[in-house]
Amino acid sequence: MNAAVENPYWMPFTANRDFNKKPRVISGASGHWYTAQDGTKLYDTFSGLWTTGLGHCHPKIVEAVQKQVATLDYCITFQVTNDKALALAERVTGMAPDGISHCFFTNSGSESVDTALKIALGYHRARGEGNRTRLIGREKGYHGVNFGGMSVGGMVPNRKVFSAALLPGVDHLRHTLDIERNAFSRGLPEHGAELAEDLERLCLLHDGSNIAAVIVEPVVGSAGVVPPPVGYLERLREICDAHGILLIFDEVIAAFGRLGEPFGATRFGVTPDIITTAKGLTNGVIPMGAVLVKDEIYDAFMNGPAHMIELFHGYTYSGHPVAAAAGLATMDVYEEEGTFEQARGLEQHFEDLLHSFTDHDHVIDVRNFGLMGSIEMASRPGAPGQRGMEVHKRCFWDEHMVVRNGMDILQFSPFLNSDPDEMEQSFVKLRRVLDAVE
Ligand SMILES: Cc1ncc(COP(=O)(O)O)c(C=O)c1O
């Protein structure tokens, strides 16, 4: 099919009409490189979509998937399960902070978030605190596109059209992006821990006893990589404890090595009550997510007659055997190849490369933590997002790289096992593009 002529595929989060004028189509990948339909090799600066930290088509994961699909392709997931799902649950909870020893499988980050919110509400109700129904998110938060995640999320374009259908009883903390005070911070910004006090303010407004949960990304991803101010997450934890509110870390991006540790929680030394994951769980090879919960939460549901279902929630594909096999192989590779240490070892180089753009005329901020980074460009007057889109397209066509832009913010998610020289080359190419665009 010539997608430029008529493209029946309505693409997600895509400017479809613009795309269709000159489609960017990938048909293969290996390691750190994509292959476009015309055979051109393109360097992937985004590890898929924050997903594929080990590189594309890792032979061990490919082999595990091939084997599993020929052994047990699918298995009913309600009242019966499969060996791979059991093994993966054990493996993933084994990496989690102490006291988190159960996980619920989903198929995506959005499903993980909505599952986590439902678990939070169910937990309070099971303990006789059914009045705790309010959910608190944060401006600039991205928690996927389902109704729960969209409601607690704080990215305006994702909410605008659906505003009448958002969940009631949701409130938001202010975001922590403060370019005026924190521009060009390396790692965690110094200013802004006091913004955690917004939660105290909301507890005064709604009464803390009515709030079920607070959900935040430990490092904001999709809104343009915003690391938390020093001390911010610790303070959120304290306030949640003081009011009996569950703290949910949405680690769909952060979990499994992106921050050089199994979880953002372990990197920051702040343990939430629930952790949502997806992406790196299977290296992006098969869609899958997992929601990890503290033991008290799981235990609270385990009451009533033992033959009755405790949580009326689940997906046809929860714990899908092929996805779980991909997950197990992914965990094996992380361990065998020392991926998280490797990622940690790349952080300084990545930070230096990003911050080498500090002096560029278009650039108004550079932010990074772990292997998450962004370069924020000034928007063209009256045309927000246009410069970012042009950079994305020029990178693709002129420099043969896939670079992700969210409006005028360029986002980077290098492979956890990146070759430092390849990474450096990608930033040399990026500079050529930034120099060339107006
Ligand atoms: C923090 C966070 N939560 C949830 C999601 C939604 O995940 P999915 O696109 O798999 O539904 C994303 C996706 O990028 C994310 O970054």
Cα 235 to Cα 216: distance, rounded to the nearest angstrom: 13
Cα 407 to Cα 157: distance, rounded to the nearest angstrom: 11
Question: What pTM was estimated for this model as a whole?
Answer: 0.98
Which ligand 1 atom lies nearest to the CA of residue 217?
1
CA of 79 to the centre of ligand 1 (A): 28
Cα 31 to Cα 409: distance, rounded to the nearest angstrom: 26
CA of 144 to the centre of ligand 1 (A): 5
Query: Which of 1-10, 113-122, 199-208, 353-362 has the least mean pLDDT?
Result: 1-10
- The answer to whether 248 touches 120, Cβ cutoff 8 Å, is yes
CA of 49 to the centre of ligand 1 (A): 10
Domain with CATH 3.40.640.10 in the chain: 64-336
C-alpha closest to that of 334 among 82, 60, 40, 73: 60
Cα 155 to Cα 141: distance, rounded to the nearest angstrom: 6
CA of 334 to the centre of ligand 1 (A): 21
Domain with CATH 3.90.1150.10 in the chain: 16-54+338-436
Question: Mind listing the pLDDT tens digit for each residue in 13-29?
Answer: 999 999 999 999 999 99
Query: Quick one: pLDDT band at residue 6, thresholds 50, 70, 90?
Result: confident
Question: Mind listing the pLDDT tens digit for each residue in 177-229?
Answer: 999 999 999 999 999 999 999 999 999 999 999 999 999 999 999 999 999 99
Which ligand 1 atom lies nearest to the CA of residue 278?
10
CA of 251 to the centre of ligand 1 (A): 9
Query: Quick one: pLDDT band at residue 2, thresholds 50, 70, 90?
Result: low
Q: Which CATH architecture has domain 64-336?
A: 3-Layer(aba) Sandwich (3.40)
Best mutation site among 14, 51, 110 for ligand 1 pocket (most ligand atoms within 8 Å of CB): 110
Protein residues whose CB sits closer than 6 Å to any atom of ligand 1:
108-110, 113, 142-144, 217, 221-222, 250, 252-253, 278
If you average pLDDT over residues 323-343, what whole number do you get?
A: 98
CA of 310 to the centre of ligand 1 (A): 27
Which ligand 1 atom lies nearest to the CA of residue 149?
4
pLDDT at 73: 98
CATH topology of domain 16-54+338-436: Aspartate Aminotransferase, domain 1 (3.90.1150)
